[in-house]
Structure 1
Amino acid sequence: MRLGQKLVLQALEKEQKRLTLKAQKAAQLSEDFINASSKISEVRLKANEMLRAGEFEKRVNEFDELANQEKAALKLMKKDPIKVFDAENSTRDELNDFNNELSFLTMRYNRGGL
């Protein structure tokens, strides 16, 4: 493999890492969106237990953290589900197409083509 081909492959592998990270973030957002209502229920149950036990003053920091988690989940639930899932699908498709092209180029370079 020639130096120019190695440089091209290195640049493409760097782009592959970027696309992989983008796809992972989109998938995580979809997963968080799906679980947002469960997260709210869980957080409210924990907060209710703390209040009933009379431990609010002792565990103010934990209570504040629960409130922040609830706010984040509520914010997620306001997102448009179509956009969230479309973003995941399009980034995954983009990554798959890129991986196919990278695989093809790598194979050709290793065989001495191009």
Structure 2
Amino acid sequence: MRTGQKLVLQALEKEQKRLTLKAQKAAQLSEDFINAPSIMMEARRKAADILNTGGYEKNINKFEELASQEKTAINLMKKDANKVFDAENKAKSDLDEFSYELSFLSMRYNRGGV
């Protein structure tokens, strides 16, 4: 394999890593979007338990943490579901297509073809 071909493959592998990270982030956002209602309900349940036990003053940090979790979950639920899932599918599709082309090019370079 020529030096130019090695450099091309290295650059393409770097791009593949970037696309992989992008696909992972999109998948995590989709997962968080799906779990947002459960997270919100759990945060509210725990906050209600703290209030019912009368331990608000002692657990102010925990209460603020639960409020932050609830706010994050609410913001996730405001997102458009179609956009969230379409972004995940597009990122996965882009990665799959890129990986296919990279493997094809790598195989071709390793066989000595251009």
TM-score bracket relative to the smaller structure: over 0.9
TM alignment of 1:19-30, pairs within 5 A = 19-30=19-30
Structure-2 residue corresponding to 1:107: 107
Residues 50-100 of structure 1 show CA distances to partners (whole Å, capped at 9, x for unaligned) of 111111101111110110110010001011100000000001000000000
- The structural deviation recorded for 1:49 is 1.0
Give the secondary-structure state (helix, strand or coil) at the position aligned to 1:112.
coil
The TM-score with structure 2 as length reference comes to 0.98
Cα separation, 2, equivalents of 1:21 and 1:89: 14
Structure 1 distance, partners of 2:55, 2:10, is 56
1:80 maps to amino acid? D
Match of 1:36 in 2: 36
Counterpart position of 1:12 = 12
In structure 1, what is the Cα distance between the partners aligned to 2:77 and 2:106?
Answer: 42
Match of 2:66 in 1: 66
Code of the aligned partner of 1:26: A
1:52 maps to 52
Identity %: 69
Tell me the equivalent position of 2:84. Answer: 84
RMSD: 0.6
Q: Deviations over 1:21-69 (max 9, x none)?
A: 0000100000000011000111011111111111110111111011011
TM value normalised by structure 1: 0.98
